[in-house]
Structure 1
């Protein structure tokens, strides 16, 4: 699943649009952004297989060891922007993988301070937060939600439409920031600016689903502390083409 579509006609049209917009360019210069999507480290509720949405709990003791491989991979990388879900488990993950002392010292470079972003929260499971499958399996509404989460809303929770809408708003904000960049800041020969996003498993799945047609919500299973790199091309306002580059455990990451 590393292309938007295998449809040759679509690829040809996109190539022609790119040539008309900026002339014939090499493969690397066709991408406008790189997203590095990081799932937070493990919490107690993750270990106990409880639903964890907006309940604000922190990471397990020993999270530093779990996140150390990713911290090492991020050292020395430049991020044009850093976004983080405002929930504690993500903020703690960010502090471990990119300690504030390293950001200030310039060992891991960033154009600005991390942005705490509520739109990057996990889906709000409402009354089902903290519950396990075994606790809910005999609840008719829950079983209907399992089959059709886009249609059913957990009691006191967030609708799928609202969840998707706020992630669309986040992507739109990336688009607006990217087109506002001064032309002299980037040349066609430059690598696309990289944006770090520390968030939740459901958010990563949904973003991949929204950006890559044919890529289902359950196509990805990001583990705690794992990163996913996605390159984006801005086709027109608020419309992207995308491809997955690699996971954090890949050798070429």
Structure 2
């Protein structure tokens, strides 16, 4: 399943047609391994959890053990992690050679990049609330119907959320081009990039990159992983496919 991801004048993603063999003329592959963090108390209680910095529940090691085993032996050209605690703790479990040095620095081979752009949507005043607590709030009900047009009070607009993820994708393109220029040969295997992040971020990245996907097409559970293979053209130009992981 492939697409070309471009930018319209209004700043929204557009999807264009591709050739019969869209992989033929683009030279660089990149595999994104997208991991949702493990369970927190608010996840279990079905509360909105955006920028509040909760840690994982006790027993997270056992919950994430299957994913840790699947990652054993896989090398990553780059590792990105949301800077929120639940993602940092998840990374330490699934990639034990990553050692937490401080809130803002992880040490690993390769170095881990703590990335605020990979945070969940900021739910503002609704953070920590459940559907039952908010269902009679008219603004909340409008937000459920049209989240692209309504911003949670004290929270983040949908446009800002999408734009920071678009900025993250642009940075991947710039890094990959720089990496290619430093290499004399191109490996047969595409470089893999590990991204430890949040459910909403994984949904939106898939929506932006994979044809036929909307925000609700994926339902990443805590500890789930997905692979998206990108072939990079010019900036803002991607051909992408969703692979099993």
Asked if these proteins are the same fold (TM beyond 0.5), I'd say yes
Does the CA-based 8 Å contact 1:128-1:154 persist in structure 2? Answer: yes
Task: Give the TM-score normalised by the residue count of structure 2.
Answer: 0.87
Q: Is the 8 A contact 1:54 1:122 kept in 2?
A: yes
- When the two chains are superposed, the root-mean-square deviation of aligned CA atoms in Å is 2.3
**Do the aligned partners of 2:226 and 2:242 also contact (CA within 8 Å) in 1?**
yes
The reply to whether residue 150 of structure 1 matches residue 158 of structure 2 is no
1:149-176 deviations in Å (ceiling 9; x for gaps): 0000000000000000000010000000
Task: Return the TM-score normalized by structure 1.
Answer: 0.84
* Partner Cα distance (1:131, 1:8) in 2: 40
- Report the 3-state secondary structure (helix = DSSP H, G, I; strand = E; otherwise coil) of the residue aligned with 2:228: strand
Q: CA 1:56/1:101 → structure 2, altered by over 3 Å: closer, same or farther?
A: closer
Name the structure with the higher strand share: 2
* Closer/same/farther in 2, CA of residues 151 and 102 from structure 1, 3 Å limit: closer
Size of the alignment, in residue pairs? Answer: 228
Does residue 1:58 correspond to 2:66, yes or no? no
Runs (5+) with no aligned partner, structure 2: 5-14, 101-107
The runs of at least 4 consecutive aligned structure 1 residues that moved more than 6 Å come to none
Q: Distance in 2 between matches of 1:8 and 1:121?
A: 29
The structure that is helix-richer by fraction is: 1
Q: Distance in 2 between matches of 1:41 and 1:172?
A: 27
| Alpha-carbon displacement from aligned partner over 1:58-109 (angstroms, at most 9, x marks no partner) | 0000000000000011111110000000000000000000113699xxxxxx
Listed as ranges, the gaps of 5+ residues in structure 1 are: 22-29, 104-109, 248-253
For residues 57-206 of structure 1, the aligned pairs below 5 Å read 57-100=54-97, 111-183=109-181, 185=183, 187-206=185-204
**Which whole-Å CA distance do the structure 1 matches of 2:98 and 2:232 have between them?**
34
